[in-house]
Structure 1
């Protein structure tokens, strides 16, 4: 309870200080900053010179993992839906989890699931382990710091999540910073605690000819595995038990079992641009920025001179004359009017004229000079800038990933596993210490002909080659280690158009020539068309892909004390056709996707539930379904607004042709109803409730020994989850540079089937707090 009072006190202090300190800048809904004191976003620094202006401005972007192409993004500073950003189950509750903060998860919407990577063990933690393609690089006019914290519960149970981000620039081209992320979920049920630590450093350089992005991150993850509760009736029908069990008293299948993941990542992409220079008009934003920079320079220079004059007056024992200083010390273009320009004076010639000045010797010449001056004054004085136009880019991208995974157990129920393999045991007896290592090194070389350097260059063209070295190590029979090395070479090309407002497209193809993945093929395409219709902006977008891929390594090989396979698998073929229709004014989005998969490869888990609700004969196998499986996805997003009342909805319908292998809920829905208003004209409040719901289906089971979601393979003992709404009530607030919320999650908690994953109940009613604060200095 102490942390709750502290957090409430912080929110109160922040609110009070921001109301009274109106000179601080405001964070807009789109994530940009505008200033109350000037048009470009600056504030006075009272800690140094009184009149010094601190400029504010923040741009963020993401980069493509293959080419390092930049895509503009919004800063992670939006207040809308901030209260839901804390959930491992997703902003709109679209993920199944095992119940705790930072727990493994899987998306219920099949069309939004990513493809399997080579090291599958970190993929269920994509809430925490951030891929390169979604990391936001920064460029800021002054250093920025963001601190975000949310918590619930107490020292015995509950959740804490702390994030810190710092970004700074050294000049306009070089930006750098770091991110710190720490999750500690003690858990409300037994044996389910999580502890995740991330540290990331980044840097970017965006010069005219040379661009570079660097990213280094390290993650340490520890998850306690409890195997689910022993009997679902502790949640669904607690009245059948003589005692009233609290959440932390419900027995679980496993104890003293852990999954640990340690991984480090290095990403570096750079390019050299060859092109030409040309003069172009500045945009309004650039003109505003240039004027602001000039004014800031003038004011800062004046403040410096004023302080210098004050010190001199104090030294001479005189009073400082403010009016006299203002009269003599006015600043123009960053210099006082009575200051001398650095450099030599022009040299006078024999006629007395100084070199570089026009000599006027008669009335005709004077009239001519006046006419010329008037002509120059009538010329368009639009601000121009010198722009370097790249034509060709030479690109190199390096990506190195290093992984270690350990499944460790000191106490395993008798006959819990079906099989046992003779490997070099770390502790002996029933203890488990399954250790798996993997690293990969990928280099990509590309040449790009860029779009837009002249009116005929309507699209960009890239050709590339990628070399990838992969290494794996796992336990071997009778002790030792089995090692695998895979080296692949692929080539490909891309045709892309991103400029303009009406039509854009991107087509990319990659084929693998040699190595373990020889014969693989990936073809991706997407396009969007934007136009006006009845006063609204309409966007039609289409996506399609064709993949013929080798199942990733751990579907083909896996060695451990109780799970073991070496498989020969066929290549998996996937196709998707997707269309998206959106209307901006009515806030309507319609999405249609059709997937077809052959040789679908998946994990299947099987076990027996005993009379005492224990588990025996647990095993996981890799299976491949040779027939085609099709999936239809229909998704409708519709938002409404009536005065201060907002209603947001996202409804997804899915239909699988094989529910035994690829099961999804037919209906997945999210709705959010809230009032938006302001208090004292500065505190923006979203006060409302939201709900997430999905129909019953045979949800994916979870295997602690593998750390993966699996298909249920228990025949008639397979269970379904769903048909239970989860409702949260919240007040989400935004004040200047601060976001904070108070929420009661799962407010409708009662006896019911509140399971997302079979045998893993979610938390009951919990009071939550969260705070995010931005600092510019």
Structure 2
């Protein structure tokens, strides 16, 4: 079955690649016939551009093209998703960013948050405007037969003409894991299109994600990593896959879809533009844009455990079934938005864009029920005498039997932008909730940037911040399952204020950033796995410096982040995080661009977070600190024409400085592993 699926995935990727090559040959051939370049014209194609979207109206945000150049090999190292990333360790497994200012906010369907590094999202969705079609195909693999990891990715983008573009993506991850009962699998795909006409614009995308991972609950004893001889009668060596784990028959599955589309009608006037001394042309200048957008998303989470004995020792409560667990939670949301925008730049006296919008969102939730358990063979009661059947716990006092729920939210908002001024840009968005428990919700985000000349170069400075006053997601207020149940209808709104800035000094290749945040009524999962609202305020301070040094072919890049939190139970953070990358970068034989080096992650010891498999959530840690270890990789990566490849030996320093290498309590980081990667750009 797995072989057939892999063949299907390969066929899809090859079809995308072949279509890109064939279309490129056809398009480039037509261009040669119609517009042969003159002696003064450049014979090369421009690389094009890409963008993401601002919601809900779909305004464009410039983004970088996916070139897979610098540090391509980092994509294969789970612990290097960020400079401080806490995870189960396997490629595609749940994790959380411990750089707080880089961490995303909790979503309405929090089960998906733990796999955000691997799953598609609307913030990652890119649209490409390319002069020739491109297909980026990437394959990364490594490990032995029992610990193998594979990742196959493909991105296609092409333009039918200068107004109409299409795209597609695919991402397949399969990792057996370096430890027992840790396998993870993920398959994502999506499509997008856009049309940019004088009077009408449209952009749309759809993506689907399907994630599965086994849950081992962590290893049974940390001494298997720290000093295995104590547990093995003096034998100090042990294979990572033979270390016993707390769970062996548990697994999580999260899947979902998202469909977004926006349509805009532009009203304006015709203006005459001078082409040269003798020729003029008429161009359409849009003044006002009327916008409609639709945003649909859905998600399903299933947690399954087939071992009653392991479940009894791992969880404190069993509310629905004593022989095992099958918790199924479903969610979907539909949001419709209408907006009107005065377009920036239609007149020199109007150097800004201004938009107003209203949106209506409906959310629906379905919690686990007894019916879900009734037809699961894995949870069938044993035949014969059932007198020893596990006794179920009573539901917690005050928890209702609510199995379904919904929210209807009406919001209004506005957006002010200024992006055309050469020295100063700004972007501000404000949104208010007007119905249901969202009455009084406020979301304000703002960003401003400037640049100026100094010492013969351009200095960039940026300020940004936000203020949120939001009610809690429905699932944080209401939830029932086999091991957890809560009713937090009394939770108040969380108020969150952050302000920060960034300074780029080009002649020293230095980037400085700092920020401070105050959170009131913060909600987190306590050590028992239940949502808890912290009364009072929590302050977080963060400062970072990114310094790059180069001398000839020698390069040394360093990023140092300092964080301080006033509550290390609700928001534990490593005080100091360091990423350092020393490498040689050179060109051989005029065509081979190579990078050879070693990079390391390090963060100081801190309280850390526990991981709760039944919720796919990270919870407060009683007293089991993690950190204070180096994770180093030796690599060589090169690019030859349109082919890029690497050889990587990850965690090359295993056991050299410290064996206490856990990113989560009882979840050790991956041992040393040899990995390879190959990327091909099929653009012609």
TM range, smaller chain: 0.7 to 0.9
Equivalent residue runs for 1:171-570 within 5 Å = 171-240=161-230, 241-242=232-233, 243=235, 244-280=237-273, 380=277, 386-412=282-308, 413=310, 414-422=312-320, 429-476=322-369, 482-567=403-488, 568-570=490-492
Equivalent residue runs for 1:52-71 within 5 Å = 57-71=47-61
Alignment correspondent of 2:647: 742
Task: Say whether 1:704 aligns with 2:613.
Answer: yes
User: What do the CA deviations read for 1:721-744 (whole angstroms, capped 9, x no partner)?
Assistant: 111011111111112212111111
Alignment correspondent of 2:527: 605
Alignment correspondent of 1:151: 141
Distance 1:384 1:684, change over 3 A: farther
Deviation at 1:89, TM superposition (A): 3.1
CA contact (8 A) 2:433 2:442 kept: yes
Name the SS of the counterpart of 2:527 in structure 1: strand
Instruction: Name the CA distance, whole Å, in 2 between partners of 1:602 and 1:194.
Output: 26
**Could you say what the CA RMSD is over the residues aligned between the two structures, in angstroms?**
2.1
User: What do the CA deviations read for 1:353-409 (whole angstroms, capped 9, x no partner)?
Assistant: xxxxxxxxxxxxxxxxxxxxxxxxxx736x866432211001111110111110011
Instruction: Name the CA distance, whole Å, in 2 between partners of 1:649 and 1:91.
Output: 16
Instruction: Name the CA distance, whole Å, in 2 between partners of 1:396 and 1:681.
Output: 51
Equivalent residue runs for 1:590-601 within 5 Å = 590-601=512-523
CA contact (8 A) 2:246 2:314 kept: no
- Select 1:81's aligned residue among 71, 84, 92: 71
Instruction: Name the CA distance, whole Å, in 2 between partners of 1:395 and 1:380.
Output: 39
Question: How many matched pairs?
Answer: 612
Task: Say whether 1:576 aligns with 2:498.
Answer: yes
Deviation at 1:134, TM superposition (A): 2.1
- Select 1:631's aligned residue among 540, 543, 546: 540
Deviation at 1:585, TM superposition (A): 2.7
CA contact (8 A) 2:209 2:257 kept: yes
Deviation at 1:142, TM superposition (A): 3.1
Instruction: Name the CA distance, whole Å, in 1 between partners of 2:330 and 2:299.
Output: 6
Task: Tell me which structure has the larger Cα radius of gyration.
Answer: 1
Instruction: Name the CA distance, whole Å, in 2 between partners of 1:187 and 1:384.
Output: 65
Provide structure 2 residue ranges, at least 5 long, that are not aligned to the other structure. Answer: 1-24, 26-36, 373-400
Alignment correspondent of 2:584: 675
Alignment correspondent of 1:106: 96
Task: Say whether 1:729 aligns with 2:634.
Answer: yes
Instruction: Name the CA distance, whole Å, in 2 between partners of 1:659 and 1:274.
Output: 54
Instruction: Name the CA distance, whole Å, in 2 between partners of 1:253 and 1:420.
Output: 17
CA contact (8 A) 1:68 1:270 kept: no
Instruction: Name the CA distance, whole Å, in 1 between partners of 2:547 and 2:68.
Output: 20
Deviation at 1:87, TM superposition (A): 2.8
Instruction: Name the CA distance, whole Å, in 1 between partners of 2:313 and 2:272.
Output: 77
Instruction: Name the CA distance, whole Å, in 2 between partners of 1:687 and 1:108.
Output: 28
Provide structure 1 residue ranges, at least 5 long, that are not aligned to the other structure. Answer: 1-23, 25-34, 43-54, 283-378, 607-619
Instruction: Name the CA distance, whole Å, in 2 between partners of 1:38 and 1:78.
Output: 32
CA contact (8 A) 1:400 1:439 kept: yes
CA contact (8 A) 2:212 2:251 kept: yes
Q: TM-score, normalised by structure 2?
A: 0.86
Name the SS of the counterpart of 2:123 in structure 1: helix
Distance 1:39 1:669, change over 3 A: farther
Query: Which segment is superposed worse, 262-271 or 63-72?
Result: 63-72
Distance 1:539 1:56, change over 3 A: closer
Deviation at 1:223, TM superposition (A): 0.8
Deviation at 1:281, TM superposition (A): 6.3
Instruction: Name the CA distance, whole Å, in 2 between partners of 1:39 and 1:86.
Output: 41
Deviation at 1:475, TM superposition (A): 2.7
User: What do the CA deviations read for 1:261-311 (whole angstroms, capped 9, x no partner)?
Assistant: 1101101112111112334467xxxxxxxxxxxxxxxxxxxxxxxxxxxxx
User: What do the CA deviations read for 1:41-92 (whole angstroms, capped 9, x no partner)?
Assistant: 66xxxxxxxxxxxx67443221223121112222111311111122333455
User: What do the CA deviations read for 1:326-360 (whole angstroms, capped 9, x no partner)?
Assistant: xxxxxxxxxxxxxxxxxxxxxxxxxxxxxxxxxxx
Alignment correspondent of 1:753: 660
Instruction: Name the CA distance, whole Å, in 1 between partners of 2:169 and 2:196.
Output: 21
Instruction: Name the CA distance, whole Å, in 1 between partners of 2:330 and 2:447.
Output: 36
CA contact (8 A) 1:526 1:544 kept: yes
CA contact (8 A) 1:273 1:394 kept: yes
